[in-house]
Each structure stands twice: as C-alpha cells, then as structure tokens.
C-alpha cells in the first residue's frame, strides 16, 4: 500500500485525457496535475526549450510527495524524457511506449498512422518504437499543429476542426492505415471528427487508456496501490489564469473542477 500521489504534467489541457483514464481505472489514487497553460504549445518549440520546460514542470511536481510522475504530453514524452532518463528518484513515465505497443498489437494490415505535434513527429519516437516491435509495420506520421489550438479554444467539434482534419489526415487515408495513434494527449477530444474523416473501421489509439493500464500494472506489481485517497483527492495547477482551464477541463473530465485549480509561477522552477 502506498497512498502517496501520482503527479501528471502537460503543456495545457491535453493531459486531462490521461487523468480521466487514471481516475476511471484507479479510483482510490490521489492525483496532482500541472498544466503549463502559460507556455503552450510545446510542440512547436525547439528541443532545448521543450527540455527546459519539462524539467521545470518536474521540479514543480517534486514539491509534492509523489510515488510516480507521468509526462501526460506527447511532445515532452518523445523529446525530453529520453534525455532525462535515470535523473529522478521517482519513476517517470511517458505516453509513447504504451500507445506504440497497443497499436502494434491491434493493426491487421501492418499500416499504422501517427499524428502528433511537430516536435513529436520530428523526434521519430513512434516510428522507432513500432519498428522495434515489428519491423514489418509501415508507419505514416503527420504533424497536426493546429489540432492543439482547436482543442484548447473549444473548437474540437466545430466545422473548422473537420476542415483541418480532412487536410491533415489525407496521407493517413491514402496510405490505407487501419490504426491511428493519437500521438498528442489533446487529440482524443477530436475523436469524433477524426472518425468522420477516416471512417469507423480505423482503430484510434488513445494513449491515456494504455498509460493508465501501465501505471496500474506497475503499482500493483510494486504493491503501491493506494487504499485511502487524500482529503483533496484531485488538485490542479496551471501557469496562467485558471478560468479557461477550469471551464474546458470540467468538460474533459466530465466533472467540475471549479475552485480546485490554482495558478503557479512556473518560472520560479525554471533554470
């Protein structure tokens, strides 16, 4: 038994899709979430900047008594985490490997699409992992930078989202991929639009589902599952005005978070 918290961080709201799955699968766990809303997006930044931001996010979360940290951000997971491996006492997980393993296990025709931020796609992380799992898998990856802005601004189900999706997803469609990794944690909010464009025969891989399963497996094996949550089971911190985060975040999680989100000066934790 280990009642310490799990810490999650993301560039903004997207990591809430991971948190939602954790809350569903591990209802006794306490979670602290940090969304770097003042510096979003990460995906268009340089490797050095993504690394700097990721390190400051981790440094902030280290102020809490955590048993595990999760980079609930595709860009941070693919770009920064490989450079930070082994530097922290608390286990640090990303979203890339669980999603890649799931996609490799699901695809029937061996063609897997990957969509993500420019940073995630440029890293080649998914392509390398999929090739390592099965060299016969053909990977078609596409950067979709506007998707994050559409989600963060509440346009995930508007006509403009479908128009952008049709443009971005054309290479995936043309290649005949039967599986698509939603390689940014914002993208599950675009599931409806993506399915409309690609059709319901394409299996969409939501990293949050498989990250939550991985966390449960690790905590179970280490006998670290919580029995009793904190009085404030879920807490949220952001680096910009919490108002927008609270409004959209409540939709993402399907539960109110008003009054639970606090603003923090993340620059205090930045080298």
What percent of the chain has pLDDT above 90?
A: 79
12/33 Cα distance (integer angstroms): 10
Q: What is the predicted pLDDT for the residue at 153?
A: 84
Q: What is the mean pLDDT of the chain?
A: 93
Nearest to 105 by CA among 133, 127, 77: 133
What pTM value is reported for the model? 0.91
Kindly report whether the peptide bond that precedes residue 81 is cis, defined as omega within 30 degrees of 0: no
Structural element, H or E, at residue 215? helix 207-221
Place of tokens 């006794």: 28
59/84 Cα distance (integer angstroms): 12
- Chain-centroid distance of CA 230 in Å reads 24
Buried b (16+ CB within 10 A) or exposed e, 54-78: bbbbbebbeebebbbbbbbbbbbbb
Backbone angles phi, psi at 142, to 5 degrees: -140, 130
Place of tokens 């997006």: 41
Mean pLDDT of 132-149: 94
Q: What is the predicted pLDDT for the residue at 230?
A: 85
205/222 Cα distance (integer angstroms): 27
Tell me: the pLDDT tens digits for 75-103? 999 999 999 988 999 999 999 999 999 99
Distance of CA 198 to CAs 139, 162, 163, 191, Å? 16, 11, 13, 10
Buried b (16+ CB within 10 A) or exposed e, 141-180: bbbbbbbbebbbeebbeeeebbebbeebbeebeeeebbbb
Q: What is the predicted pLDDT for the residue at 271?
A: 80
DSSP 77: I
Kind of pairing between the strands at 179-182 and 92-93: unpaired
Q: CA-based Rg of the chain, rounded to a whole angstrom?
A: 18
Residue 250 pLDDT class (50, 70, 90 cuts): confident
Could you write out the DSSP letters of every residue in 142-205?
A: EE-THHHHHHHTT-TTSHHHHHHHHHHTHHHHHHT-SEEEE-STTGGGGHHHHHHHH-TTSEEE
**Contact of 99 with 107, CB cutoff 8 Å:** no
Q: What is the predicted pLDDT for the residue at 207?
A: 94
Token pair, residue 51, equals 């690394």
**Contact of 73 with 9, CB cutoff 8 Å:** yes
Q: Which residues are catalytic?
A: 73, 184
């Amino acid at each position: 038994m280990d009642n310490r918290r799990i810490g999650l961080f993301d560039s903004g709201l997207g990591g809430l899709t991971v948190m939602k799955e954790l809350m569903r699968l591990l209802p006794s766990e306490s979670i602290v979430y940090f969304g770097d809303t003042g510096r979003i997006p990460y995906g268009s930044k340089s490797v050095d900047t993504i690394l700097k931001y990721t390190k400051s996010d981790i440094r902030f979360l280290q102020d809490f008594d955590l048993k595990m940290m999760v980079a609930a951000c595709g860009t941070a997971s693919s770009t920064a985490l490989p450079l930070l491996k082994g530097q922290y006492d608390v286990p640090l997980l990303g979203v890339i490997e669980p999603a890649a393993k799931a996609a490799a296990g699901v695809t029937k025709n061996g063609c897997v699409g990957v969509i993500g931020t420019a940073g995630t796609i440029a890293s080649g992380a998914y392509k390398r992992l999929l090739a390592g799992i099965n060299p016969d898998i053909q990977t078609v990856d596409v950067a979709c930078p506007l998707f994050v802005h559409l989600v963060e601004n509440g346009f995930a189900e508007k006509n403009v989202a479908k128009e952008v999706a049709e443009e971005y997803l054309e290479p995936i469609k043309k290649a005949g991929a039967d599986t698509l990794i939603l390689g940014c944690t914002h993208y599950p909010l675009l599931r409806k639009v993506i399915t409309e464009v690609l059709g319901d025969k394409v299996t969409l891989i939501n990293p949050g589902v498989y990250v939550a399963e991985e966390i449960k497996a690790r905590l179970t094996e280490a006998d670290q599952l919580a029995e009793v949550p904190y009085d404030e089971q879920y807490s949220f911190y952001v680096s910009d005005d919490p108002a927008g985060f609270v409004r959209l975040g409540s939709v993402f999680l399907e539960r109110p978070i008003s009054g639970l989100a606090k603003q923090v000066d993340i620059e205090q934790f930045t080298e």
